[in-house]
Structure 1
Amino acid sequence: MARIENIPIQKIRRPLFRQNDPAKVAALMTSIEAEGLREPIDVLEVEGEYYGFSGCHRFEACSRLGHEMIRCNVRRAPRSVLQMHLA
């Protein structure tokens, strides 16, 4: 069961490198400045740590805008699920 909450951006680990499209990030920055973040990013909470694997463009846009918090769809998971994402 997932829950929506605001998480400090610096507490979200992004263990997999993703190449962001600069034009998409710029467009999202404009949209987020005007309307706020409409769609939360998905994160896994594993033993009190947060891991992000999707929403990389939204995460980057919020980071560049200087947001300290980001709205997240948080799903609690055991370490075995995290390992599957990292494989």
Structure 2
Amino acid sequence: MSLQSRNIHATRTLPLALILRPIPPVLDDSKVDNMVCTLQKNPPAGTEFEPGTLPPVDILHYQSPAGKDFYFAFGGCHRLQAYGRAQVEDVNCKVLKVTKSMLKVYLGGSVDAIVGE
């Protein structure tokens, strides 16, 4: 549970293809492999996750003035990589609505180029 989403109890699924990850992840492949096994309902002994599930990923949702939705992940890199490797299309998420100025905390001046404004 993250500080940002600790008070958000509702989760939803989003297609992995919609989630933007503008910062390249640094990954521990063995951790990703364990998560893939969990998603495939064959978790390694001693895993902390329920077979077939992973904890939700925090997603920042920005809707442009034109109505276009952007979904950003700045954490959860191992989980997102595991979903991709396991070919699971839908990601369990906690979605937090953000403003453009809030996105600038993460993206700086490049936010305009990314969201097309």
TM > 0.5 between the two? yes
Equivalent residue runs for 1:48-63 within 5 Å: 48-63=69-84
Could you tell me the TM-score, scaled by structure 1's length? 0.91
Offset of 1:11 from its aligned partner?
A: 0.3
The residue that corresponds to 1:37 in the other structure is 53
**Quick one: higher RCO (CA 8 Å, sep 6+), 1 or 2?**
1
Rounded to whole Å, the distance in 1 between the matches of 2:54 and 2:83 is 12
Question: Helix, strand or coil for the counterpart of 2:11?
Answer: strand
Offset of 1:37 from its aligned partner?
A: 2.1
Give the alignment partner of residue 26 of structure 2, picking from 10, 16, 19: 19
Offset of 1:32 from its aligned partner?
A: 1.8
Aligned length: 87
Could you tell me the TM-score, scaled by structure 2's length? 0.69
Q: Which amino acid aligns with 1:76?
A: K
Rounded to whole Å, the distance in 2 between the matches of 1:66 and 1:9 is 10
Asked if the contact 2:16–2:89 (Cα under 8 Å) also holds between the matched residues in 1, the reply is yes
Offset of 1:49 from its aligned partner?
A: 0.8
Q: Which amino acid aligns with 1:69?
A: D
User: Which consecutive residues of structure 2, in runs of 5 or more, have no partner in the other structure?
Assistant: 1-6, 42-50, 64-68, 109-117
Question: Helix, strand or coil for the counterpart of 1:23?
Answer: helix
Rounded to whole Å, the distance in 2 between the matches of 1:27 and 1:71 is 17
Q: Which amino acid aligns with 1:17?
A: P
Rounded to whole Å, the distance in 2 between the matches of 1:17 and 1:69 is 21
1:37-81 Cα deviation digits (max 9, x unpaired)? 231100000112100011100000011111111111000000111
Q: Which amino acid aligns with 1:62?
A: Y
Question: Helix, strand or coil for the counterpart of 1:49?
Answer: strand
Root-mean-square deviation (CA), in Å?
1.3
Q: Which amino acid aligns with 1:10?
A: A
User: Which structure has the highest strand share of the two?
Assistant: 1
1:80 corresponds to 2:101: yes
